[in-house]
Structure 1
């Protein structure tokens, strides 16, 4: 039985000409954390750890992986990622509680889980979604994301030209946005769709006022109009106007099950790099479909996590769409540009094996700010 013998992690930062703004903060560069796990037979796999926030988070997560998590992973069997995922969730709980850093620990474990499933699929010489039991597919539906409402008049036509047929616009910046959303809807072509994302930017009353103003529009969804941790009663006050979406800021089977049980989310959006990896998010995606919701993976990172997210959507199935950030990101495009991957509203999956990544591209290597390696 092969055991995990080596873990490497890289923090990378790529400069960008135009910052990426949300209702709660601005990204002034594009960070990423990549993880490579190798067993004592020389097999390896890749994963990605969420590192967008806080601004200094990428380097911290590399150190957290090397100093706190890797000692619990090295020497463990490499053939059952789901079992190791649950073991790490249990073992790291008190550490995360002690320092109040549940997010970073969960994100590191998510990256390791992706890498272990990638390793298994590479051993079997198949794509990850096939190794996880899905029928082979060559593409999944996708939508253009990360579009600031102030830039939407320019970016939506650009995304349309790239090949997208669905778009998600960030709102929550100014009081006149309902009228601007209405104008964007009027500018869509036949068959195109529009979703909105407030990034938890409103209180319940502001969210209700906005949703009342756009309730007659055929929007795909309204994502995180209020904080993800607000009680069900607040979410229920917003229901019935526009389909509600959320999940990127929910973590753990219990919390996802509770939110699904409340029946307020029409679209459930766990992020494979923030919590769960394949092991956790696959279970949540299947539970969402069983509950009558649509699984739409959240992702706003670099190239390895995007590939993993696409493989996960191909595994879960259903009518969901892959989130593809259309803001400039060299750490994503080094693994394959968006324009080369999108066709007629669909994202083309790589041929594998696994996630189809053998090494970090040269363009990514030039952006490394920190690296750690830990051996058994």
Structure 2
């Protein structure tokens, strides 16, 4: 198998013409992607996506410096060895562990993409998966803090566009406004629509206050009610038995998920392949969730690379999870300069079947989206 001869990463950014509705984190100025690339001796190029946090250029620099020592000269199939070295040297025993985990995530996805292309097989087949069609719910930069009637119209657009039967609404604004939005959507669409809610770390008030009302409204789960440094609060909320508790996008690696699962903090396990160490580490987390009898619902990041990698993960994990679909109208990193990810129709997501991830990256056209520095979220007032 040809070895990896080059590794690089760069940030690409898409500034919103119309900023998304605010969440509890605020309203993003732009969509950033840390695009990771491995090049093999035979010319095969594999692509991955690292989540950026609030500093995409810092993540790219880790890929372009320290991580080259780890990756160059290896075969793209050596994902487990790269994972082992990065965790041993940088994640579990040194500073900046979060940045290295993000960098590893994009590299791991790119290695799987390259390996699949060399073998002429989609990634899920290399992983032993066979399921290619999945349940989905609408998420991404959508369904934020807006008047109830406008929120219902956005949900209606999603349903008419692709037949979606489940959506994730945002809370963390105020108890009164949050519940008014959810009640209105429930009244408009009835029980035929599944509703999840996401507090995005619950910055503005203790969202446990609305848990009884969420249970009465038949909410499927309450996501990220608290910051990730407080698992005991998740345990306490879950012990009340009101609404299933979901989290994981801000946890790092299978070791953290194992701790949270052992504590009884989660009903729904939500790793993001662009954050937790890539497909390789996310599969370990899927195994933990399955062994504990918990739901598996991976979080998504910004581009078709992450979306496709997530579906390959779901297939390899047995096909029983649910996919978070990006419901935004325009995303050039989903169906523009980066394309070929999931096909969304009739409330389902279909897996790309081309070699590797099945995603196409137009590197020349990406030049129209130069990367920006710093956080895509403005400083709170």
Q: Does 1:85 align with 2:78?
A: no
CA distance in 2, matches of 1:337, 1:182: 36
The 8 Å contact of residues 272 and 282 in structure 2, kept in 1 or not, is answered as yes
Query: Which whole-Å deviations, capped at 9, do the CAs of 1:278-303 have from their partners, x for residues lacking one?
Result: 11001101210111101111013112
Secondary structure of 2:74's aligned partner? coil
Deviation at 1:147, TM superposition (A): 1.6
Deviations 1:52-105 (A, max 9, x none): x31xx22222222112222222123432211211111212237851xxx32221
Does 2:49 correspond to 1:48?
yes
| Counterparts in 2 of 1:337 and 1:166: CA distance versus 1, 3 Å | farther
Task: Rate the CA distance shift 1:299–1:40 in 2: closer, same or farther, 3 A.
Answer: same
Normalised to the residue count of structure 1, the TM-score between the two structures is 0.89
Q: Which residue of 2 aligns with 1:333?
A: 335
User: Which SS does the other structure have where 2:14 is aligned?
Assistant: strand
| 1:246-273 Cα shifts (integer Å, max 9, x gaps) | 0001112221101111223111000000
Q: Alpha-carbon deviations, 1:18-50, whole Å to 9, x = none?
A: 223331233101111111112223333111010
Residue 354 (structure 1) aligns with: 356
Tell me how far apart the structure 1 counterparts of residues 203 and 360 of structure 2 sit (CA, whole Å). 43
1:68 to 61, 66, 77: 66
Q: Deviations over 1:220-264 (max 9, x none)?
A: 111011112213255323441111100001112221101111223
Report what 1:144 is aligned to: 138
Query: CA separation in 1, counterparts of 2:331 and 2:159?
Result: 18
Compare 316-325 and 25-34 and name the one that shifted more.
316-325
Instruction: Tell me if structure 1 keeps the 8 A contact 2:175–2:207.
Output: no
Give yes or no for the alignment of 1:344 onto 2:346.
yes
**2:322 maps to which residue?**
321
Give CA deviations for 1:332-376 in whole Å, capped at 9, x if unaligned.
2213489x8211111122121011135336543311338xxxxxx
CA distance in 2, matches of 1:286, 1:183: 38
Which of 104, 108, 112 aligns to 2:107? It is 112
Supply the distance in 1 between the matched residues of 2:242 and 2:281 (Cα, whole angstroms): 30
Unaligned ranges ≥5, structure 2: 373-381
CA contact (8 A) 2:76 2:112 kept: no
The separation in 1 between residues aligned to 2:247 and 2:48, in whole angstroms, is 23
In the superposition, relative to structure 1, how do residues 237 and 140 fare at CA in structure 2: closer, same or farther (>3 Å)?
A: closer
Please list every run of 5 or more consecutive structure 1 residues that lacks an aligned counterpart in the other structure: 371-376
Q: Superposition RMSD on alpha carbons, in Å?
A: 2.2
Query: Which position in structure 2 is the counterpart of 1:134?
Result: 129
Structure 2 vs 1, CA of residues 196 and 2 (structure 1 numbering), >3 Å: closer, same or farther?
same
| TM-score with structure 2 setting the length | 0.88
| Distance across 2 between alignment mates of 1:77 and 1:349 | 25
Moved more, 236-245 or 279-288: 236-245
Paired residues, number: 361
Shift of 1:192: 2.0
